[in-house]
Each structure stands twice: as structure tokens, then as C-alpha cells.
Amino acid sequence: VEPSLKPKPVSGFDLEALDDELVIYHPVSAAIFYCNPTAALIFRLCDGQRSVAEITELLTRAYPEARARMADDVRDTLTRLCEHGALTWS
Amino acid sequence: MKERLLAFAQSAVRIGWDTEEQGALLDFLFARIAPHDGVAPHRTLQLRAAGNGTSQLLRDGEPIAECVERGALAEAVLGEVCYQLVDRSRGGLVVHGAALSFDAERAVLLPGASGAGKSTLSLWLLARGAQYLSDELAWLPEGQLRLEAFVRPLNLKLGSRALLDQLLAGRGREQVLRWRDGDLVAPEVFSGPRPIARARLARVVFPRFQPGAALALSALTPAQLTKELLGTVANARNLPRHGLPEAARIAREVSGQRLVYGDTRQLPEFEALLRAELGA
């Protein structure tokens, strides 16, 4: 995942927030994704304006104790959501 | 032609038959289903005698199956009736899953696809005194925590036959339709003369049978439960936002677990935990 890429949600997905977690559902493909609190936060920061690097930096500032693994978490989450069609790049 | 109405989850079909034998088979399959809930039937099915002991199943006058063996005919009729009822069902989630109760008031829902192990688990729990609701379909009316079951005979594959014979220990043979691909077991064999059809939803457990696996029971968060539940909803396309808000509502109010088991000898431990958690 290139740090300069800007992820954004693919249209057509329906979201349901439960506590800090998220369920993402596509009614046409019937694809369903579960996002834990970290993945839910990453997904919500994907607005097509912020780059991967900016999302990582924002989360690292907010959660400095998770600095060591934040870049990996962001990359893995974005890769998974892109592979399943919930995110694309702008 | 004689006929009966079958209603479930605000959907209804009419089914007719020619012979006494066909009528007896439909009694065995559907005597526990509500005859009518005010919904007009959207399909007419019919069993027709086709000679040489063969029965034809027709849908709106068109033949869709022809069977000699009673068990094969039962399987074809069950499959078609369930499909047609689910096709127009609305007013809440119809979940593909089994449902049982330990106290006739609270239901444990066991959703899962074919082969997940829910029928074997249901059979085992029934033999231990649980009450049967369904092994296939449960309707959760919108805005409520009530479960309404499609109460049909327990439909067991060949792989469960040895366990069935062990648990029956010679009783209730006349209430089992045994055929080449499996067994259909009247719920009265285990649950007495009046199986229940509705109860309050108290727990959702997703069983998965993995031969050789150790027993593993893990709690699901509300979001995980929503995802898993939505994956077993059979009538999503008939529901607002495909059932997502309803699945989430239920997940906020009811606990969910994932169960992995590799052998029925592990199930007493699961049963003890489940009963303790439910206070049953």
C-alpha cells in the first residue's frame, strides 16, 4: 500500500455501528465485514481526502502507545477492506 | 383434491394431495405448522398420484419433482415448502437455523448452514431433555425478542444415524421416516406430544462441527453477532436495509457465542455451561 494513496469507501455499502465496532454490508453482493474498534476507526478516516500516511500519522498521535504496530495495522486493515471491495483508492 | 394451508413469517402456501398415503405424509411433515395467519397463499403446491406408486410434486400446476420413495418425496416437499415460505416472508428476520428451549419459555437459536452440525447438536440436546422448536427456520418478528419456529420433523443426514439409533434406544421407531439419504424424526419422539412453536430469544450459538477439534466456546461482540446472524438470514431481500438494523437490534439485546466441537462426547460440557448461563 503506497503511503500517498487516498482510500475511500465504495458506494452501496450499508454501515451499522455497535459500540466502537462496525458492520459493513453490501446488499447486492451480500458481502459482510466485521471491523473491530481499530479497523472501524481506520475505515471512518477513509474519506478520499486523507492519504494512508496521514491516517497512520493521525492515529499514531492519538494512540502513541500503539506506535510500533500502527503502520502495520493501517496497512493490513486497508488491504483487507480493499480486497473485499469495501474501499477503493482516489 | 384435499388441501391445507401452511403459514410462516407472514407468508403462506397451499398444498393439495390425492391419496391417503400422501395426506399422511403431509400430516407427518406439517401437522405442527399454523394453518393460517391471515395471509393469502402465493403458491399452490400439489401432490399427484402418477401411477406405479409414483408421486409428482407440482408448483402452480407444473411438475417439479417425481418420486417413488417416501423419504425422497418428503425431502422434495419440505425443500419446496420452506423455499416458498421464505421467498415471501417479511416482518422480521427468518434465520436458517435450529432452535431449542430448556424451559419452554426461552429459546436458544443455533444458526448455521447445512453441514455446520446444528442438527446433530439439536438431536443430542433433545435427547437430554431440551424442547424442540425447529431444525431449519426461525422467524424473529421485527422489534421483538420473540422466536417463532417452523416446527417440522428433525431432518438428519446419514452421518447422524448411529447417534440417532443410540439415543432412541428402540423407542419411537414408528415416528421416524427412515430412507436412503437420512432420517426424518417427529419431534414428539423427544419433546412429548406438544412441541412448542414460540419462545423468547435468550441466546444465539453458532455451532461448527470439526472432526477431531477440541471443544471451544467463545463470546461474540454485538458487531460480530450482527455479522454472523446476517450471514444466516434467508429473507434479507424482503427486509428494510436487508435486515441489517434488525440483526443489530437483536445483537444488542441478546448474547451470542461461537461453538466448535469435534465429538458429541464433548457436548455435556457445553450443555452444562449453557444451562448454567441461562439458569435452566
- Render pLDDT for B30-71 as a digit per residue (tens, 0 to 9): 999 977 778 999 999 999 999 888 999 999 999 999 999 999
Beta-ladder partners of B216: B260
Per-residue model confidence (pLDDT) at position A50: 96
- What is the b/e burial string over B238-251, where b = at least 16 CB atoms within 10 angstroms of the residue's CB? bbeebbbebbbbbb
Average pLDDT over residues B163-182: 92
Does position B150 have pLDDT exceeding 90, yes or no? yes
Sheet containing B182-185: give its strands across: B154-157, B182-185, B176-179
Taking alpha carbons only, the member of A3, A36, A5, A28 closest to residue A85 is: A28
Give first-to-last CA distance, chain B, whole Å.
Answer: 47
pLDDT band at B193 (very low <50, low <70, confident <90, very high): low
Per-residue model confidence (pLDDT) at position B260: 96
Enter the C-alpha cell of residue B172: 419411537
Whole-angstrom distance, CA of residue B80 vs CA of residue A74: 47
A30: contact with B, CB 8 A cutoff:
yes
pTM of the model: 0.93
Determine the distance in angstroms separating the CA of A32 from the nearest CA of chain B, rounded to an integer.
6
pLDDT, tens only, B15-30 = 999 999 999 999 999 9
- The CA–CA distances, whole Å, from B61 to A76, B36, B74 equal 55, 22, 19
**Which amino acid is located at A31 in the chain?**
A
Beta carbons of B222 and A19 less than 8 Å apart: yes
Average pLDDT over residues B212-221: 96
Residue A33: list chain B partners with CB under 8 A: 227
Q: Write the residue in B227, B236, B237 that is nearest to A23 by C-beta.
A: B227
Average pLDDT over residues B140-150: 97
Average pLDDT over residues B114-127: 88
As to burial, measured by CB atoms within 10 angstroms (0-12 exposed, 13-18 middle, 19+ buried), residue B85 is: buried
Give first-to-last CA distance, chain A, whole Å.
Answer: 13
Per-residue model confidence (pLDDT) at position B3: 93
pLDDT, tens only, B231-267 = 999 999 999 999 999 999 999 999 999 999 999 999 9
Per-residue model confidence (pLDDT) at position B59: 97
Beta carbons of B227 and A33 less than 8 Å apart: yes
Does position B169 have pLDDT exceeding 90, yes or no? no
A64: contact with B, CB 8 A cutoff:
no
Per-residue model confidence (pLDDT) at position A36: 94
Per-residue model confidence (pLDDT) at position B206: 97
Neighbouring C-alpha atoms within 13 Å toward the C-beta of B45: 26
pLDDT band at B194 (very low <50, low <70, confident <90, very high): confident
As to burial, measured by CB atoms within 10 angstroms (0-12 exposed, 13-18 middle, 19+ buried), residue B265 is: exposed
**Which amino acid is located at B22 in the chain?**
Q
Taking alpha carbons only, the member of B76, B67, B78, B16 closest to residue B43 is: B16
Residue B222: list chain A partners with CB under 8 A: 18-19, 21
**Segment (H or E) for A6:** none
Beta carbons of B244 and A25 less than 8 Å apart: yes
pLDDT, tens only, A18-73 = 999 999 999 888 889 999 999 999 999 999 999 999 999 999 999 999 899 999 99
Beta carbons of B242 and A14 less than 8 Å apart: yes
Per-residue model confidence (pLDDT) at position B56: 96
